[in-house]
Structure 1
Amino acid sequence: MTSKTPEQQWLLEQLQQVADGVAQTFAPFCEVVVHDLLTPSHAVLAIHNNLSGREPGHPATELGLARIQDAELDPVIANYPNRFSDGRQLKSTSIGIKDREGRYIAALCMNIDLSVFQGFQGMLNQFVALQGDAPTQETLDPMGGDAIRARIDRFAASLATTPRALKAEDRRVLVRALKAEGLLEVRRAMEIVAAHLGVSRASVYGYAR
């Protein structure tokens, strides 16, 4: 473990305060992560509005490792496409923090879950459609996972939140709506719903009763 100078420790403490403020401002759509690049094997120092399922102590990302190896890497890499492990699309920004010696010691990373905004976009498209426009139709084909995820995203967007931030009672209403619309008949529907909501399949079966 690399020992930290007082200056480095002070910078990390200040960065955590910045992260907390940014996270509170953009909750619940934006995950904010503080990475300690002096300890890459367990770099995640703090995580707010947790959307990725990571925890403090998780290792550095590829971008974090790249910063450790190359001090000339751009300090601000903004709005690049990214993806969570479950397939949700993100817009990410990473800000590298250097010490007085010009060495990257930390990074502040922001990951915006685009699924909720894609749901907003879908609702807006429907709202501004003129009479005679053909509405978008969802199909229940064997690969109907996208239809299920889109329906969940729209439901969460109507509550100004994200699928994984839905309260238990809201999840119950949603799953019963999916059942009434026949979307739970799609192959692997329970598994798809559980993954998108970030809950167990047993929970989804319970909501559907």
Structure 2
Amino acid sequence: MTRGRLTSEQQAILEQVKQIAAALGETLAPFTEVVVHDLRSPKHAILAIHNNLSGRNVGDPATELGLARIADDDYPQVLANYANRFSDGRQAKSTSIGIKDSDGHYFAALCLNVDVTLFRSISTMLDQFSVSKGSAVKESLDPSTADSLRERIDRFAVGLATTPQALRTDQRKALMQALKEEGYLDLRRSMETVAQHLGVSRATVYNDAR
């Protein structure tokens, strides 16, 4: 199907979707990324992005689901709670809602991406908090994997009620000091893993670790 410019009806609907996305972004911050796609411009589909967890920007292209809806108006309108993954390896849970006009054609989409790793970290913290004094505490952290390093960073961010990407400079420096003291920075390619997970350059990570 050939996709042209937005009609006045589509534009009006899209403006309402953008308002809904903004409200959801505020309500679900900082753990859920909310994205509005204009499927009429697949190469520059992202119109708005709130609580940016994926590192994408306004003007970036549509995802595979967006392209599927462009090609087929019978494609499922709601895909809820499917497993997904951010580019740096963090696990996510996503929901994608296709937006149709009165003719039944897809022209936009509203997507939510939840950072599951943060909630798993919260669950781990709650489990530790609920252990009785007389109970034997088992150490479940395996410092030999990149996943354990990401989990440690997530737990640090959760303790500050924020996300790894939103850490301030002073908070990043405190994180790097904690990682150094706990031996995480001795792991192979640890600085690269930290940089990817924080969404900063390796030079920034090395500077914060001083």
Question: Which bin holds the TM-score, normalised by the shorter protein?
Answer: over 0.9
Establish whether residue 5 from structure 1 lines up as the match of residue 7 from structure 2.
Answer: yes
Aligned equivalents of 2:7, 2:124: Cα separation in 1: 50
- Count of paired positions: 207
Offset of residue 69 of structure 1: 1.6
Deviates more, 1:84-93 or 1:131-140: 131-140
Q: Conserved in 2, the CA contact under 8 Å of 1:16 and 1:34?
A: yes
Aligned equivalents of 2:30, 2:66: Cα separation in 1: 24
Aligned equivalents of 1:51, 1:178: Cα separation in 2: 22
Q: Conserved in 1, the CA contact under 8 Å of 2:38 and 2:109?
A: yes
Offset of residue 40 of structure 1: 1.2
* TM-score normalised by the chain length of structure 2: 0.93
Aligned equivalents of 2:157, 2:83: Cα separation in 1: 22
4+ residue segments displaced more than 2 Å: 128-134, 136-141
Report SS of the residue matched to 2:124. Answer: helix
Aligned equivalents of 1:160, 1:116: Cα separation in 2: 10
The one-letter amino acid paired with 1:172 is: K
CA 1:82/1:139 → structure 2, altered by over 3 Å: closer, same or farther? Answer: closer
In structure 2, stretches of 5+ residues that fail to align are none
Q: Deviations over 1:85-142 (max 9, x none)?
A: 111111111111100000011000011111211110111121223434441243443x
% identity of equivalent residues: 57
Establish whether residue 177 from structure 1 lines up as the match of residue 175 from structure 2.
Answer: no
* TM-score normalised by the chain length of structure 1: 0.93
Aligned equivalents of 1:73, 1:182: Cα separation in 2: 49
Which one of the candidate residues 29, 38, 41 is aligned to 2:40? Answer: 38
Report SS of the residue matched to 2:47. Answer: strand
In structure 1, stretches of 5+ residues that fail to align are none
Deviates more, 1:122-131 or 1:189-198: 122-131
